[in-house]
Structure 1
Amino acid sequence: MAENAPKEGQCLEFQTEVKQLLQLMIHSLYTNKEVFIRELVSNASDALDKVRFESLTDKNILGDDTDFRINIKLDKNAKTITITDNGIGMNRDEVIRNIGTIARSGSKAFVEKLTGDQKLDSNMIGQFGVGFYSVFMVASKVKLVTRCAGGKDAAIEWESEGSSEYTIKESDKKTRGTEITVYLKDGEQEYVEDWRVRSIIKKYSDFIAFPIYLPNDKGKDEVVNETKPLWKRPPADITKEQYEEFFKTALGGFDSPAMTIHSKAEGVLEYSFLLFVPGKAPFDLFMPERKHGIKLYVKRVFVMEDCKELFPEYLRFIKGVVDSEDLPLNISREMLQNNPTVAKIRKGLVSMVLSRFSELAEHDAKAYLELWKLFGPIIKEGLHSDSENKEKLLQLIRFQSSMGDTDDDVTSLKQYVGRMREGQKYIYYISGDNRSIIEKSPHIEIFREKSIEVLYMVDTVDEWIIPDIYNFEGKELRSIAKGDLDLGDLGKDEKKEKEEAQSEFKKLSERIKNLLSDSVKDVRVTTRLKDSACCLVADEHDMGSYMEKMMKAMGQEFTPAKPVLELNARHPVIVNLKALYEKDAKSSLLDEWAKLLFDQAHIAEGHAIKDPQAYLKRVNDLLVKVSADVIK
């Protein structure tokens, strides 16, 4: 049982982040102040959802009060608006936890995410779990009286003027639920006008599943909202604006959704669903403690939020409502994990979402690109975790490529295969931090010369999913930075040239290999280079250099594989090295220049060299020699 509040009242301070938030609200210049009604009604609806769910296992919790409702009273003389629900209510500890503090980092994140755009910032209120505080945009004082369902704890009265503190004390409220009285600031009298409040409810809260009552001109309470849930209505009867407000108010969105999916499954199983793809990536998308945005209902009764069991991790950005006619009302999160009905619903939902993505990609490539820029790397995760939908995902994934000019120029695997040159056996790719770095890579030189397209793997997840893709339409994926170069029929001339060069440069290659034996697995000539003197490649079955770089960044332990140093037999530097070797096979200059080339190859890979001071000395020594030769 919660600790009792003193009957005479106790003064407590708000948490630091709450103080910051209150100051933002009190001094708000938002033109969209009306959202405070949306937030208070939404909180009341949540409280009713919770008590209805609790009543499934505890019939006594409702007592004689079984008529779930939200009441709004307007008092023009007192300049107050009062919103009352007969929901779950709160005890003292819950009031302090839910209003005096923020259990998660919601308020802090909200402050950090403020954009300066009044409309956007006010819409963000719901997403960050700070909706209650929006009342201080219009209130000089707020009084909350609440009693927890079940009657075990005393009723509590909470009051604040939005300063750094609040008072809390016991109340004589006899019925369960919460009553919030908002004392309006001067200049905010519009919110006690009946027509104004009705229009706000119609705009934001028409979809609330519980009746919202306002007195009519005769003083009799009347329902002012539709009580049929939005997801149960025919899609043809719902406007874009209604979908958008549901997304913001019920699901915490703060923008316009990029996609809305509203349908109903009938047959062996029956369930309705209303799903949204956010127009902006949620702020906690990559946080371990993030919540999934799916609310589960059974026969219109709210069962749980954050329902991870209905969507895989790679679709965790989806928000929405799923309402099943077949699940038991008392289903728990543990029961969900092994429930065959849940598995079938999940399968149907995932199939529907991926199909809608495919339709968008086919009919509106520009809109799909915007969706892909937001969630593409996350969708790619599905190739590793969802083998059942692998073929669908292979059609959806996009990559940058050498055919494009900007980061927005992406291609599908199907488009790539359709552009492959005659005689090309593989789908070629290269991994790197970004397009700019990749396009400076020596590995791409031969492909640029021969107009062979190369996919750019710039997303962190790409290296992890390559083994899961392996091939597409019979074409194997091949890294241009691993193993020996194989251009198939497109590399016949280079193959012959390489065979001749291997014999010609064999002794020099062996000399450099012995010199760098602690650092390289092999040294060989290559025809993959056109402008560069040398490059590093990973052996066929070794971890690539970019994967090693990521493993280091993540603090993972691994044994680095030695790379292969490849030499461009046509480059003047390599030709001169060969001449120097033939003149003096034990020349110290040969050693220094070979080490210098090896370090340069590392730099070209985007990696740090082991001994920068030694590298600088070699460069300076070379400059001294060259400059001395010039002025002779």
Structure 2
Amino acid sequence: MEKNKISVTSDNIFPIIKKFLYSDQEVFLRELVSNATDAVLKLKTIVELGNFDDFIDDFKIKIIIDKKNKSIHIIDNGIGMTKEEIKKYINQIAFSGAEEFIKKYKTSNIIGHFGLGFYSSFIVSNQVQIFTKSYKKNASSIFWSCDGSTNFIIKEIEKKNRGTKIVLFLNEESKEFLEYNRILKLLQKYCKFMPITISLSSIEDKEKETIINNINPAWKINPLQLSDKNYLNFYHELYSHQLDDPLFWIHLNIDHPFNLTGILFFPKIEKRIDIQKERIHLYQNQVYITDNLEGIVADFLSLLRGVIDSPDIPLNVSRSHLQSDPSVKNISKYITRKVADKLDSMFRNHRKDFQNKWENIKIIVEYGMISTENFFVKAIKFFIFSTVNNVYFTLDEFKEKIKETQKNKEGKIVFLYSSDKEKQYSYIKEAKDRNYEILILNSPISVHLIQKLEFSYKEICFVRVDSDHIDKLINHKKEDKCYSELSETEKKNLKNIISSNLMENYKFSIKLENLSKKDYPFLIIVPEFLRRIKEMNSIGKEFFEKDKEKYYQLIVNTNHIFMKKILKETCEKKREKMIQEVLNLTLLSQNLLHGKNLTLFISEKLENLTKK
């Protein structure tokens, strides 16, 4: 048996780092500015600990574009490097000076971890040069240069100022990064809130200097020191294209068992679940990482906006993707709990204001209740239903109100609801005439929430108000029940007559019901269970819309006087016209009369009006 070590040399790993470690070319700037920031933060830490005597109050990072020489300069006045440190941290791939510093000085505000960020410079460069001078007394200034191979030059030079200057000589494929606006956009994307002041300028136009960042973003400030105006200003700083203010926000701040700060804003969502263009941003020590927070926040919170900043969220080596880790689940649970606690507090302490905001946040809460069980348990206490009269109830409040008056044959409490007050007006009126309470459930995911609630609360059921005649939906008193005045033979004849006059133009199924004489002769419904199945399946829903007539049911009121007239009428043409007339009125009342049939109906009515 032979034992040995796997051979990994710079000759075989360097090309992999340059070509495959970073999926996006543009991150080279984020990595180099992060390194410069670390260099300054390290010196600040040493100064604060009293290990450096010089007075410093002007820490800064400069990015300078030199178009003529096809180069970009990244300059900091931070800690600098000695010759030995260059050999250790630059010449040795994946040896992290940041990690070593964190262990030595017990600080958590340093950005770097893997010791690979510097090598992202070779993605865009033919040659990289370093000019550096350490803060240490009597340290020599050092020059280092590499052309992207494993060969490098290192020597002592004259450099007066403490800190580091990195010069990138861009390759032909990366000339776009010599454009001022291109670099400006990148800096604003990745470095907008870095903790050290960053400026951008160019050799060609020295007077044009842009300060990039806000070094004290709102999420890093104690909430007690922030006003509403501060939060709103920060929101618009994050999302400059948003004209509307957010409804409210949650300031996150925890330091055990993990470190996390941030602010989540609730925008006006109303009844849309769109793919949000403006999403929550993930930062790590004030460095922008991504706006894809899958795994860090529950799916329903992707509808929110804001910032989450945590040094404890595990990232891959290129800092472009999350790594699977138990701590991510804990962070996700914490964020979900904080959102639920905030909503619960608003509901309990400022219910009227909560109700005023409800229509704009309802869909977020519904989505959370459907998708996240821990959130459902908390949200059921503050989820509110609105009635058609704009009165709000929690589930328990509404259940208590209707438990004696709205039950079905099985004894379940019936939550009557409408999805559209205008379209379902006649059904709502019938229910209101009987003093029943009707809810409005009109979001795209209401049907999924209904299923969840019925599963969790076996004693209740939800029924849309137009899914049958109201007296069939609610089990009313026996003395109020209606009995048919038609014989069984008459009923059979009636169904045959209506069917034969209906089948040519409509695919409705027909059902005879013994309703009140005051009720309409015809009623058109879609049974609750059938419509719900179709609504829960988006593909099925599209199919349902395309061929929905076949799912409609025509309820025929056998006790309406019109039915006896049909049975007595012997002229087939006249009878057909009578049925069509009443059916058209029924269809029109429910916005179901369209196209050719609507045109014929209007033409006939106009003709009748102009007859002498």
Give the alignment's TM-score, normalised by structure 2: 0.59
Match of 1:195 in 2: none
1:307 maps onto 2:293 in alignment:
yes
Match of 2:589 in 1: 604
Match of 2:231 in 1: 243
Match of 1:78 in 2: none
Of 511, 525, 534 in structure 1, the residue corresponding to residue 513 of structure 2 is 525
Distance 1:63 1:52 in 2: 14
Match of 2:579 in 1: 594
Distance 1:548 1:65 in 2: 56
1:294 maps onto 2:281 in alignment:
yes
- C-alpha contact (below 8 Å) 1:482/1:544 kept by paired residues: no
Note the alpha carbon deviations across 1:435-491, whole angstroms, 9 max, x for none: 3333x32x2343112100111233343345433433664211122322565355434
Matches within 5 A, 1:128-147: none
Note the alpha carbon deviations across 1:294-316, whole angstroms, 9 max, x for none: 3332x454433453543344333
Distance 1:513 1:228 in 2: 75
1:535 maps onto 2:523 in alignment:
yes
Amino acid at match of 2:260: Y
SS of residue matched to 2:527: coil
Q: 1:591 to 1:260 in 2, by over 3 A?
A: same
SS of residue matched to 2:289: strand
1:419 maps onto 2:401 in alignment:
yes
* Percent of paired sites with the same residue: 16
Distance 2:536 2:601 in 1: 22
- C-alpha contact (below 8 Å) 1:430/1:456 kept by paired residues: yes
Of 566, 574, 577 in structure 1, the residue corresponding to residue 555 of structure 2 is 566
Cα shift at 1:379: 3.6
Q: Any gaps of 5 or more consecutive residues in structure 2?
A: 1-25, 45-59, 72-164, 186-190, 200-210, 408-412
Distance 1:543 1:476 in 2: 15
Q: 1:568 to 1:63 in 2, by over 3 A?
A: closer
Q: 1:379 to 1:337 in 2, by over 3 A?
A: farther
Amino acid at match of 1:381: Y
- C-alpha contact (below 8 Å) 1:314/1:382 kept by paired residues: yes
1:86 maps onto 2:62 in alignment:
yes
- C-alpha contact (below 8 Å) 2:482/2:516 kept by paired residues: no
Match of 1:270 in 2: 259
Distance 1:537 1:337 in 2: 52
SS of residue matched to 2:250: strand
Q: 1:269 to 1:90 in 2, by over 3 A?
A: farther
Distance 1:588 1:549 in 2: 43
Distance 1:479 1:91 in 2: 68
Cα shift at 1:364: 1.6
Of 552, 556, 562 in structure 2, the residue corresponding to residue 576 of structure 1 is 562
Give the alignment's TM-score, normalised by structure 1: 0.57
Q: 1:289 to 1:229 in 2, by over 3 A?
A: closer
Match of 2:19 in 1: none
RMSD: 5.1
Amino acid at match of 2:598: P
Match of 1:475 in 2: 460
Cα shift at 1:512: 1.4
Match of 2:250 in 1: 261
Q: 1:549 to 1:271 in 2, by over 3 A?
A: closer
Match of 1:354 in 2: 340
Moved more, 605-614 or 553-562: 553-562
Cα shift at 1:349: 0.7
- C-alpha contact (below 8 Å) 2:251/2:262 kept by paired residues: yes
How many residues were matched structurally?
Answer: 446
Match of 1:54 in 2: 31
Distance 1:528 1:333 in 2: 71
Cα shift at 1:581: 0.7
SS of residue matched to 1:543: helix
Match of 1:516 in 2: 502
Amino acid at match of 1:265: I
Q: 1:420 to 1:86 in 2, by over 3 A?
A: same
Q: Any gaps of 5 or more consecutive residues in structure 1?
A: 1-48, 70-83, 96-147, 156-167, 180-204, 214-222
SS of residue matched to 1:536: strand
SS of residue matched to 1:360: helix
Amino acid at match of 1:449: D
Distance 1:527 1:149 in 2: 87
Match of 1:152 in 2: 169
Distance 1:286 1:612 in 2: 34
Matches within 5 A, 1:301-340: 301-328=287-314, 330=316, 335-336=321-322, 338-340=324-326
Cα shift at 1:232: 3.8
Q: 1:435 to 1:445 in 2, by over 3 A?
A: closer
Of 438, 445, 448 in structure 2, the residue corresponding to residue 454 of structure 1 is 438
Cα shift at 1:332: 6.3
Note the alpha carbon deviations across 1:124-151, whole angstroms, 9 max, x for none: xxxxxxxxxxxxxxxxxxxxxxxx9761
| Structure showing greater Rg | 2
Cα shift at 1:605: 2.0
Cα shift at 1:537: 1.0
Amino acid at match of 1:262: H
Amino acid at match of 1:587: E
- C-alpha contact (below 8 Å) 1:50/1:88 kept by paired residues: no
Distance 1:613 1:269 in 2: 68
Amino acid at match of 1:598: L
Matches within 5 A, 1:422-501: 422-425=404-407, 426-432=413-419, 434-438=420-424, 440-441=425-426, 443-470=427-454, 473=457, 474-483=459-468, 485-494=471-480, 496-498=481-483
Note the alpha carbon deviations across 1:382-438, whole angstroms, 9 max, x for none: 34433443344444444442333xxxx544433322321514223333444x43333
SS of residue matched to 1:435: coil
Amino acid at match of 2:594: I
- C-alpha contact (below 8 Å) 2:40/2:196 kept by paired residues: no
- C-alpha contact (below 8 Å) 1:251/1:293 kept by paired residues: no
1:386 maps onto 2:369 in alignment:
no
- C-alpha contact (below 8 Å) 1:296/1:322 kept by paired residues: yes
